[in-house]
Amino acid sequence: MVLTTFEMLKRPRRNRLKASIRHLAQECTLTANDLVAPLFLIPGEKKRELIDEMPGIERYSVDCLVKEAEILHAQGIPAIDLFPAIDPFIKDHEGSEAWNPQGLVPTAIRELKQEVPSMCVIADIALDPYTSHGHDGIVNDREEVDNDLTLEALVRQSLVYADAGCDILAPSDMMDGRVKVIREALDSHGFQNVGILSYCAKYASAFYAPFRGAIQTNLAFGDKATYQMNPSNIREAIREALLDEEEGADMLMVKPALPYLDVISKIKEKTTLPVGAYHVSGEYAMIMAAHEKGLLDAQKTLFESLIGIKRAGADFIFTYAINQILDLLN
Ligand code: PBG
């Protein structure tokens, strides 16, 4: 039976009639200003190499990375996040290259501050790019990641990055108490203005696999389930978020993003801090792989993924889809 007009006063389609009306009715937006570009560093000069596991994404030597950052910033990207792929022979059990002031990340930070001073430089705090075993912390003889020993190493790494001029440190290690010790160390060394963006809810995720290829690390044993979170849990994520806020975090982040939209939305309700989300390597790579097979359109699906993450409540998004989104926005 067909309804008469009289019977149907409410027609949601009126708000979708044409693009101009759809614009007015649009509830959230995605702009270049919402995006953080994770960038990968390699040693050497004038070097760029494509990453097999992440179509379209490259590793850069410091000079090339600075140029790339300049281009991104000129297009409205406010911040980048640095990850190093260091030579395997420099890696050791403790990850001691993490606090070498002449290391790849501190060197890049100094150059970036010189050449692109208005860009926000974020650096990941964790030991996995630097340890021979690939874990995020210091491992004891029972093959466990030792929380409190790792905190000392993270503080050293944080102070070296802060001294190089890093704007925001992003601890991604998931050790207990790290935000507090990093905050205290920064403050007692005169780095009161260096911020902490805590990966408060970082899940033990299979979606990180392409990233491990990008920084050329592999777990020598075990997995990360004793420090990263169980994908089944949300109340635990809220607990982690509130603890990090209490310990002095300036911003919080959920990672990965799409399988955890409920976590983003719930944490957003529970905290007054800005909440970000990390659309991780696997989330990017699976869309790119499907695109390469002709199964879907990468640009459209990446945009839809990111707008969904914003709709869930994310204030900013770390993503590898920067170029596709910039193309679409322009
Ligand atoms: C390391 C770190 C990881 C990512 C960011 N920081 C990998 C991991 O925890 O194993 C993953 C990012 C991505 O997949 O894009 N602490």
Indicate whether residue 34 lines ligand 1 (CB < 6 A): no
Query: Distance (Å, rounded) from C-alpha 171 to C-alpha 182?
Result: 9
**Burial (CB count <10 Å: 0-12, 13-18, 19+), residue 75:** middle
Is any atom of ligand 1 closer than 6 Å to the C-beta of 124? yes
262: left (phi over 0), alpha (psi -120 to 50) or beta: alpha
* Active-site annotation holder among 91, 202, 268, 310: 202
Residue 3 pLDDT > 70: no
pLDDT beyond 70 at 166: yes
Catalytic residue among 91, 224, 255, 310: 255
pLDDT given for residue 5 in this prediction = 61
Helix then strand count (H, E) for the chain reads 11, 10
Task: Note the pLDDT tens digit of each residue in 45-93.
Answer: 999 999 999 999 999 999 999 999 999 999 999 999 999 999 999 999 9
Residues 104-154: pLDDT tens digits? 999 999 999 999 999 999 999 999 999 999 999 999 999 999 999 999 999
Q: Which CATH architecture has domain 28-329?
A: Alpha-Beta Barrel (3.20)
Q: What is the pLDDT of residue 330?
A: 87
Q: Is the pTM of the predicted complex or chain greater than 0.85?
A: yes
Centroid of ligand 1 to alpha carbon of 255 (angstroms): 9
Q: Inform me whether the pLDDT recorded for 1 exceeds 90.
A: no
Is the CB of residue 136 below 6 angstroms from any atom belonging to ligand 1?
Answer: yes
Is there an atom of ligand 1 within 6 Å of 280 CB?
A: yes
Quick check: CB of 208 below 6 Å from ligand 1?
yes
Q: What is the pLDDT of residues 271-321, one digit of tens each?
A: 999 999 999 999 999 999 999 999 999 999 999 999 999 999 999 999 999
For 24-39, the pLDDT digits (tens) are: 999 999 999 999 999 9
Q: Is the pLDDT of residue 94 over 70?
A: yes
List the residue whose alpha carbon is closest to atom 5 of ligand 1: 172
- Measured from the Cα of 281, ligand 1's closest atom is 15
Compute the C-alpha angle 272/122/83, nearest 5°: 130
pLDDT tops 80 at residue 4:
no
Cα angle 300, 84, 207 (rounded to 5 degrees) comes to 45
Domain spans of the chain, in order of start: 28-329
169-189 residue pLDDT tens: 999 999 999 999 999 999 999
Residue by residue, DSSP assigns 74-141 as HTT--EEEEEE---GGG-BSS-GGGG-TTSHHHHHHHHHHHH-TTSEEEEEE-STTTBTT--SS-B-T
Is the predicted pLDDT of residue 7 greater than 90, yes or no? no
Known catalytic residue: 202?
A: yes
Report the nearest-CA residue for atom 14 of ligand 1.
Answer: 208
